[in-house]
Structure formats: C-alpha cells, structure tokens
Structure 1
Amino acid sequence: MQFDAEWLLVAMAPVFLACIGWEAWHFSRTQPNAHIYHWRDTLCNAALALMHQGADKLAWFAVVPVYAYVYEHWRLLDWQPGWLAFAVLFVAQDLLYYVFHRMSHRVRWLWAAHVVHHSSEQLNLSTAFRQSLMYPLAGMWAFWIPLALLGFPPQQIIAIVLINLAFQFFVHTQAIGRLGWLEHVFNTPSVHRCHHARNARYIDRNYAGVLVIWDQLFGSYVREDLNDPPEYGIVEPVPTFNPFKATFHEWASMFADVAHARGLANKLRALFAPPEWAAALHAARGRGVEHRCPPASHRT
C-alpha cells in the first residue's frame, strides 16, 4: 500500500457526499413526511466529522511510532505481499474491531467517546459522519496493536482500519431492505439499523464492522423485526445539535460521577463499569436514595 493511508476517508469524501445527496433526494420524493433527514442534525454530523478527522490526523503522529516499534521489535511473523497477507490482515482487524466496538458499549470510558455516534435520533448516510474527536483519548488505537505484533507495518494497519470504516459508511441507511443470505455473512443496512436502535430487543447487538459472523459466533446477533421497527438514538436522549455538547456530554457526566462516588471502587466503576451502572446511579439520585452499587439495567 503505497499511498498515504490516513487520507483514505478524505479522498472518498466526494463519493460519500454524492451518496448522501442521492439518499436525501430519494427520501424527499418517496417519504417526504418521514423526516429521515433534518438539516440541523446533518450539519451537526458534518461538524463532528471534521472535528474527528482533525483529531485523527494529529493522533497518527503519536500512534504510528507505537505501531512501528512493536512491528520492528516484537513482530511474530513476516508476510510476503499478496492475497494471503491481505486476507489475514482483513479478518484479524475485523475481529479486533468487533472487540473494540463491543467494549465501547460495555466500558463507560470507551462509551463516553462512542455515544456520540449513537446520540442522533435520525439514521441516514450522514450519521456515519457522526464520530467523536475523543476516540484517540479513549484508546481506540490500542486495539490495533496486535496487528503490528502479527507482523503488519503501520501503513497497512492504518489502511485496513480505514477500509473497514469506509465500508461501514454504506450501512447507515434506511433505503435498503434485507439482503437475503448476505445478512448471515456481512454487516448490512438491516443489521446496522438494529445496532442503532434503542428498542429493548436491539440494545447492544450487532457490533459487526464488515463481517457479521463475529456477532453470530459470540451471541450478539439479532435480526431486524418488521413488527418492532427500530427507534433510533440512546435511551437517555441528549437534545442538542451542538457538536461540542454532543462530544463532551458523557465525559462531563462521567467525571461528575467520579467526583460524587464514595470510595475508590465506586470511582473506578464510574469510569469503567458498563454504562447502565451510571444510569442506575442517576435514577437513585433522582429518588434521593444513597446508592453505592447500582443494579444492572439498559445502557444509556
């Protein structure tokens, strides 16, 4: 891969924008009252994308030397260029993405960054742009270190991560229905609509990047039920189109919980427990009850 991999998504921007334009035009003609696009939401998504891209470009300066050090000193294998090396890299990164994504829903520190992507109550192609500039701080980059250990150089790691993310742009749509047997192999729009839903049956399901086989293997797969259509957003909505509020609201809430928590164990839970721990804590505060160890419930 001889190109500057970190610019892949920027290079594909015209394709993404053309698809968004087509989708908005399509729904304006076929479902004008569905309000699948909302201009303030779309502008917020665009601002978040620019902020995310800026943070990512800066983060690569710090992260690439880490990958390079692991690759140069600790790699276990040496790969000859070819389809076998690409296939191993693709499958390994997709599995690691599944791990990262699942942990981003189950560890509050990671959820504080990832919640931005889920906070919109719209679901359209522009929602794919809705990313957090806080991913580098949250530690997303650390999940790709095993790829360097397996013997893949930094530029290939960056490239495969961005290829995976580029694919995921196309699953953020309501314009495509179920796709038959492909639903059992790949992440599809139907699969990903479930992931963005806050209905009880869909919460914390379908973490796939490209291959949905990981969800099937690890018990997180659910099919879209036409009798229970997805309702998009998070269980505790954040009614804002301000990209800065969308980015930092969960971080502020998390650190406030750390400050109020009693004892080191609860302070650590406020940072690293599943998000429902905090939801139960907030509910207990609302009732005026001292609640040192909230029970499990649905995520925020």
Structure 2
Amino acid sequence: METYGKILLIAMPVFLLLVLFEKWWGWRRKFDTVRNMDMISSLSSGITNVTKDVLGLSVIIISYGWLVKHLAIVTVPDGWLTYLVAFIALDFAGYWTHRISHEYNFFWNNHIIHHSSEEFNLACALRQSISSIVKIFAIFLLPAAILGVPEKVIAIIAPLHLFAQFWYHTQHIHKMGFWEKIIVTPSHHRVHHALNPVYLDKNYGQIFIFWDKWFGTYQEELPEVKPVYGITRPVRTWNPIRINFQHLWLLITDAWKTTSCKDKFRIWLMPTGWRPADVQEREPLYKIEDPYAFKKYDPAASTFLQVWSWVQLVACLLFISYLFGNIAQIGSPGMFQYGFFVFLMIYAFTELMDRRRTALFWELAKNAWLFYLVWIQGDWFGLSALVPAGKYLVLGYGVLSTLIVGWIVIAKAFGTDSPDYPVPAPSPGQLPG
C-alpha cells in the first residue's frame, strides 16, 4: 500500500505531463484530440482509481499467494526467465478478464468507465474503475501459479504491465508495420475503443495482440471505417463516480422491475446489453444507431468554469500527493477519512462541470467534512509540521471554494442561461453490446 503510493508520486506527474504534451502536440499539428472538460473528467477518474487502490478498497476472492502455495508443481528458475513468464502470464490473465468485462452484464459495470470518453487520447487511458470491488484476476494467473512464479515477482511486474498500457491510447501514431503482428498498438486499441458495429468487442489484448488472433477476437483498423469513440449508450456526465455505477444501477432497477423471476436472477450474467423483455418494452433505452450522427456530450462551459475546474483538479492532485506521501504516518482510520474527502471533492467539482445545481450541496458537504477533520485533529493530518499554518491554508481553500461554487451556481455562470444540460429524450434501443 505504502510502496504503491510512493510509486504513484512519481508516475502521476509523468502521466500528467504526457497528457498535456499530447494536447500541445495536437494543437501544434492542428489535430487536437483532447477536449478540456473531457480531459479533466479523465484525470479525476484516474485519481479516484489510484486512491481506491492505495487504500486497498477491494475484496480478493482467491489470492495469487494462495494459488502458488497450494498448486505449484514446479519452480521457475530465478532470473530473467521468471520475470518473462510472469509478464506473459499477467498478459494472458489480462486478456481474459478484459474479455469477460465486455461480454457479461455484471462485469461490464467494472469497465464502462474506461470506454465512457467520446474521445481517444492518453487522458482516457486514466479512466479506470472504482466499482471493481471484487477481484477475480488471480484466478487467471493459474498457469503462473502452477509454474511456481513467486508472488513477489508478480507484485513487481503487475504495475509495470499496467503502466505499459498507457502509451497506445492516442490518435497521433498510425500503423507500426511489423509490430502490428506482435504487440497492441494505437491502431489496434483505437478499434477496441470504437463503437462502430464492425469494431465492437474486438482487440482485448493488453500488451500482446496474438491472444486476439488466437482466440478469434481480432479486428484490424479499416481505412474505410473511421473509428468513432465511446459507448452506444452515452453516459452524458463528466462525473466519474456516477459513470462507475450507472450500469450497475440499471441492472438493479431492471431486476426489480421485471415480472419474470427467472430474469431477476439471470440478468447479471447474461451478455452485456441484455435486458428483460418486459422492461425493455416498457422502458426502452437510448442507443446510438449511427456512429457518425450523434452529438458528443459537451455542455457549454464558461471560461471561468473551465479555469475553476482546473484549479479544483490541481488542488485535488496536491491533496492526494500529500496522502500518498504520508500514508504510513496518517494510518488508519485517518487515511480512509482522507480518502472520503477526496471522493467528495471529485464528486463536487465534476457535478459542477455537468452544470448541476446539486453541485453546491456536494461542495458544502465536502467542505463540512474538511472542517470537521481539521476540528477533531486540530490540524490537517500533520500538515502544519511541514508547512507553517498548513491547516489555515486548507481551511482557507474550503471557504474560498464554497464561495466560488456558490456564486457559479446562484449566478448561473455556467456558460448558458440554463445550468442544466438538455439531455435528449430516450429512444428505443439497448445497452452497448
């Protein structure tokens, strides 16, 4: 937990700089693939994910350590071969967990956030789930466990394997010749993120593309079919916490509303997009039928709102950097209280980005929690020992943030006369498949 937090202190600014570089590069080449509010939403999603992971907010059904202890029949020799086997095993497991998350209703909820952006860029790579509370990944590491690959090797390789999936989320790199046959390239992954019918549910590979070719899920990027990104049932929000649980809420409500007892149970493990027939008939869902004829989610935002959203994101990055750098000293339950504050903060400012009037309520709730934490501790988790008057800086932020958000909501300084984005009325359709 502490070690991962330290790694993230180095990785986060690197990822942020690369995201901003891509924005600059697109502007320079007159091919900008990064929209401002979409980028902030993606970065805030990344913050929620790493905060959840550092706090260890998940339940592992079967640990890899248990598998090795009980199932290993040989031991891979120590050295570079061990790490190579671990990397390939992780990629094999990644292919199958990725595929399952696309093909079954319940598991799609854990992955929808990653596909929710209607752009394709480095920032959208950071859209990672906070709803995957139950971990089944270790089950697919069975080959590594049988070979006796040590748990510590998997622990070292796993973050490297994850970070290696960042670079290919871009439209600025075209096809890569020979490498297209071996590794996942930007071209392969553009296909995976596209909602065009020919591209849906293809190219699940994470590092190696040959898994898709072997298991029948490969699709080349076609020159005559330009990828259109997103999901066929748009999320229509910048709020990553809302996105993480949208599909799960739909499954719960559909299971409740259907009159079929059988459907109440089987909806969870049916193919993604399946709904009970009676619910689908009564309450059809909006679905993008023509990839080239839909309006991207882009509620008008004033310049002030966009600047303020960046201010809030930077403030959030500073808050979590302090958490990750001092998590051992903060300890429990303090780190969970701190994490709750981070989630409230992101919920509040992304609600404001959506131009919802309820953003003021969440802002007040966030800062009430901030003031409460300072009051019970007499400080902000030991900040004053490092920064003189640190707690007053935190309290000052809370007061200023409340005043500015209150002004934006009350004065309706969203960029239009109406603070509520007009959502198109639903039309017959289904969930993404």
TM over 0.5, shorter chain: yes
Decide which of 173, 194, 199 is 2:196's aligned counterpart: 199
Q: Mean alpha-carbon deviation: is it higher for 103-112 or for 60-69?
A: 60-69
Which residue is 2:161 aligned to?
Answer: 164
Which residue is 1:17 aligned to?
Answer: 16
Q: Deviations over 1:236-276 (max 9, x none)?
A: 11110012211111111111122123444312322111112
**Whole-angstrom CA distance in 2 between matches of 1:145 and 1:257:** 35
Residues 223-262 of structure 1: pairs in structure 2 closer than 5 A: 223-262=220-259
Cα distance, 1:112 vs structure 2: 0.5
Cα distance, 1:15 vs structure 2: 2.5
Q: Deviations over 1:206-248 (max 9, x none)?
A: 0011000001111111111121110000011111001221111
Tell me the number of residue pairs that the alignment of Structure 1 and Structure 2 aligns: 288
CA contact (8 A) 1:187 1:212 kept: yes
CA contact (8 A) 2:203 2:218 kept: yes
Q: Deviations over 1:7-29 (max 9, x none)?
A: 54553223222211211001112
SS at match of 1:275: coil
SS at match of 2:134: helix
How has the CA–CA distance of structure 1 residues 70 and 139 changed in structure 2, closer, same or farther, with 3 Å as cutoff? closer
Q: Deviations over 1:188-219 (max 9, x none)?
A: 00000000000001000000110000011111
Residues 14-53 of structure 1: pairs in structure 2 closer than 5 A: 14-31=13-30, 34=32, 36-53=33-50
Which residue is 1:293 aligned to?
Answer: none
**Whole-angstrom CA distance in 1 between matches of 2:104 and 2:48:** 23
**Whole-angstrom CA distance in 2 between matches of 1:7 and 1:99:** 29
**Whole-angstrom CA distance in 2 between matches of 1:240 and 1:183:** 34
Q: Which amino acid aligns with 2:26?
A: F
Which residue is 1:284 aligned to?
Answer: 281
SS at match of 1:278: coil
Q: Deviations over 1:161-192 (max 9, x none)?
A: 22221111001001100001111110000000
Is 1:94 the counterpart of 2:91 in the alignment?
Answer: yes
**Whole-angstrom CA distance in 1 between matches of 2:256 and 2:156:** 40
CA contact (8 A) 2:233 2:431 kept: no
CA contact (8 A) 1:261 1:270 kept: no
Decide which of 160, 164, 171 is 1:174's aligned counterpart: 171
Cα distance, 1:44 vs structure 2: 1.2
**Whole-angstrom CA distance in 2 between matches of 1:112 and 1:64:** 18
Which residue is 2:323 aligned to?
Answer: none
How has the CA–CA distance of structure 1 residues 266 and 135 changed in structure 2, closer, same or farther, with 3 Å as cutoff? same
How has the CA–CA distance of structure 1 residues 65 and 110 changed in structure 2, closer, same or farther, with 3 Å as cutoff? closer
How has the CA–CA distance of structure 1 residues 4 and 64 changed in structure 2, closer, same or farther, with 3 Å as cutoff? farther
How has the CA–CA distance of structure 1 residues 56 and 227 changed in structure 2, closer, same or farther, with 3 Å as cutoff? same
**Whole-angstrom CA distance in 2 between matches of 1:255 and 1:142:** 27
**Whole-angstrom CA distance in 2 between matches of 1:245 and 1:298:** 17
CA contact (8 A) 1:110 1:139 kept: no
Cα distance, 1:66 vs structure 2: 2.8
How has the CA–CA distance of structure 1 residues 105 and 61 changed in structure 2, closer, same or farther, with 3 Å as cutoff? closer
CA contact (8 A) 1:9 1:166 kept: no
Which residue is 1:115 aligned to?
Answer: 112
**Whole-angstrom CA distance in 2 between matches of 1:80 and 1:5:** 27
Q: Mean alpha-carbon deviation: is it higher for 265-274 or for 165-174?
A: 265-274
Q: Deviations over 1:81-114 (max 9, x none)?
A: 2122122111121111111111110011110110
Q: Deviations over 1:19-70 (max 9, x none)?
A: 11211001112125x5x21221111111111111122223388649933333
**Whole-angstrom CA distance in 2 between matches of 1:216 and 1:26:** 33
SS at match of 2:208: coil
CA contact (8 A) 1:238 1:246 kept: yes
**Whole-angstrom CA distance in 1 between matches of 2:14 and 2:106:** 33
How has the CA–CA distance of structure 1 residues 40 and 139 changed in structure 2, closer, same or farther, with 3 Å as cutoff? farther
How has the CA–CA distance of structure 1 residues 7 and 143 changed in structure 2, closer, same or farther, with 3 Å as cutoff? farther
**Whole-angstrom CA distance in 2 between matches of 1:158 and 1:54:** 18
SS at match of 2:164: helix
How has the CA–CA distance of structure 1 residues 220 and 279 changed in structure 2, closer, same or farther, with 3 Å as cutoff? farther
Which residue is 1:299 aligned to?
Answer: 432
Is 1:80 the counterpart of 2:77 in the alignment?
Answer: yes
Name the larger-Rg structure.
Answer: 2
How has the CA–CA distance of structure 1 residues 281 and 24 changed in structure 2, closer, same or farther, with 3 Å as cutoff? farther
Residues 140-155 of structure 1: pairs in structure 2 closer than 5 A: 140=137, 142-144=139-141, 147-155=144-152
CA contact (8 A) 1:274 1:299 kept: no
Q: Mean alpha-carbon deviation: is it higher for 139-148 or for 154-163?
A: 139-148
How has the CA–CA distance of structure 1 residues 72 and 194 changed in structure 2, closer, same or farther, with 3 Å as cutoff? same
**Whole-angstrom CA distance in 2 between matches of 1:145 and 1:6:** 28
**Whole-angstrom CA distance in 2 between matches of 1:58 and 1:267:** 33
Alignment gaps of 5+ in structure 1: 289-296
Q: Which amino acid aligns with 1:77?
A: V
CA contact (8 A) 2:64 2:138 kept: no
Which residue is 1:55 aligned to?
Answer: 52
